[in-house]
Structure 1
Amino acid sequence: MQILRRDSLHRGGFAGLRETRLIVDNKIGGKNDTWNGLGSFIYLADARFLPQGETHMHPHRELDVITVMLEGRIEHQGSMENGKSMQANQVQAQRAGGEGFVHNEINPDLDENRMLQIWALPETAGEPASYKFYDLKKDKMVRVYGGNKSQNVTLDSHTIIEVGLLSKNNNVTQEGEFIAYITCGEGILNGVEVKDGDLVRDEDLDFTALSDDVHLSLIYLNTVNEQRSI
């Protein structure tokens, strides 16, 4: 088991955003203090907007951008779903594809918020831009990315991303290689106590929450793309 602790890393950011980057894959210029991803998953940042902070409008192309809201809310502006609002325990997934999109994420409040920013590379170039939105469900792992092309609930990929909002004593298992990020609580992962800000890479996940409202973000590969949960 490998564990990377968020608070051991430099905290940076841009515009109205402050973030700690834990995954910056070599494919996009990662350095020794961050990890490579898994499959198409190439980037993970634990971020907070300053009060009324924003990223300002900027473009993406041939990139999938997944945002997991942990605290507070953001307002989404851009070429897809302009004006949509997100709050804690919701997730949006945006595919830029070959068409591309522009967006700006804004904290409308006078308090900081918190979110996870996850990037993945699409497996097929030139796809149309696409937008997906999810509500987390208590004590369920909700698939927010990955699946086969025959379904339209999630953006297709062999790399699977699931997010769970877990009560105390809730257990999650997953076979094979995985990367997991724990936020907003603590738990036991493969026999080791982990807490908010711990990133783990290992084989065959067995996680039990030790507190209520623990967020578990789980990334793994699935060659058959069977949809465990929606």
Structure 2
Amino acid sequence: MKTIIHKSDTRGTANFGWLNSYHTFSFGNYYNPERMSFGALRVLNDDTVSAGKGFGKHPHDNMEIISIPLEGDLEHQDSMGNTTVIKQGDIQVMSAGTGVFHSEYNKNLDKEVKFLQIWITPNQKNVTPRYDQITIRDNDIKNNLYQILSPNQEDDGVWIHQNAWFHLGKLEKGSTHTYTLNDKKNGVYAFILEGNISLENNLLEKRDGLGIWDVEQLQITSNESSKILLMEIPITL
């Protein structure tokens, strides 16, 4: 078993007034040669956008982009003709493929929007761009590691062009859970959204991240009411 811990206060930061962002991996003006990615996980940004503000239209290509709102309402528009609003409980995915333009704005004029922006390096290049989103219920993730993403169109959750599985859990104090990897060659990056969790004897607090590989199962204990995102992804590309 191998691990790497990224404490919340070691992340890169960018504050543009309207946007306050924390970068787990190198992004924008934040560059750390030791934190370029975790396997196929290229970007994990923890973004807060001021009321009525947002990202204007900009391009992406050959990247799987996942957005997970934590608070507020985020309006998405893209060159594929999609105009949607995502909020807490929604999971959004966009396969940029051959190229797509999109914008993201805080829909509300009276409160912030907070969301995770995650980029996964795909296993296929120049695919046809696509968009999808789902809504999960609070009961789905209560005391459960609920699958929200996979490589399979027929599975629960959204799907992407990569051998990856995401699970989201809202765990009660004292609960224990076992996560079994879908592919033993993969690793898992755990990101603590709320609370305090012990994962394979590593103590993790809010917004801490833990990368772990060369393991087939993970033992997770919630030390208080907690919320966790598990991202199982290929370690080698």
- Normalised-by-shorter TM-score class: 0.7 to 0.9
Change in Cα spacing, 1:16 to 1:33, as seen in structure 2 (3 Å) is farther
Contact 1:12 1:19 in 2 (8 A): yes
**1:215 is aligned to 2:232:** no
**Mean Cα displacement is larger for which, 14-23 or 71-80?**
14-23
Contact 2:12 2:24 in 1 (8 A): no
How do 1:18-97 residues align onto structure 2 when only pairs under 5 Å count? 18-24=20-26, 31-32=32-33, 34-38=35-39, 40-80=40-80, 82-97=82-97
**1:188 is aligned to 2:201:** no
Change in Cα spacing, 1:47 to 1:153, as seen in structure 2 (3 Å) is closer
Q: Tell me the alpha carbon deviations over residues 56-115 of structure 1, each in whole angstroms, 9 at most, x when there is no partner.
A: 1111111111001111221111224633111112210100111x2211111122222211
- Partner-residue secondary structure (3-state), 2:117: strand
Distance 2:134 2:227 in 1: 15
Distance 2:197 2:220 in 1: 7
Q: Alpha-carbon deviation of 1:161?
A: 2.6
CA RMSD of aligned residues (A): 2.8
Distance 2:34 2:50 in 1: 25
Q: Alpha-carbon deviation of 1:179?
A: 1.2
Any unmatched runs of 5+ in structure 1? 224-230
Q: Tell me the alpha carbon deviations over residues 103-140 of structure 1, each in whole angstroms, 9 at most, x when there is no partner.
A: 11111222222111100122111211111212232234
Aligned to 1:174: 180
Distance 1:118 1:34 in 2: 15
**1:197 is aligned to 2:200:** no
How do 1:126-141 residues align onto structure 2 when only pairs under 5 Å count? 126-136=126-136, 137-139=140-142, 140-141=144-145
Letter of the 2:203 counterpart: E
Aligned to 1:161: 166
Distance 2:21 2:35 in 1: 13
Taking only the aligned residue pairs, the percentage that are identical comes to 21
What is the aligned counterpart of 2:149 among 138, 145, 148?
145
Any unmatched runs of 5+ in structure 2? none
User: How many correspondences in the alignment?
Assistant: 217
- Partner-residue secondary structure (3-state), 1:2: strand
- Partner-residue secondary structure (3-state), 1:36: coil
TM-score, with normalisation over the residues of structure 2? 0.79
Contact 1:186 1:209 in 2 (8 A): yes
Change in Cα spacing, 1:218 to 1:17, as seen in structure 2 (3 Å) is same
TM-score, with normalisation over the residues of structure 1? 0.81
Change in Cα spacing, 1:138 to 1:178, as seen in structure 2 (3 Å) is closer
Change in Cα spacing, 1:165 to 1:91, as seen in structure 2 (3 Å) is farther
Change in Cα spacing, 1:132 to 1:68, as seen in structure 2 (3 Å) is same
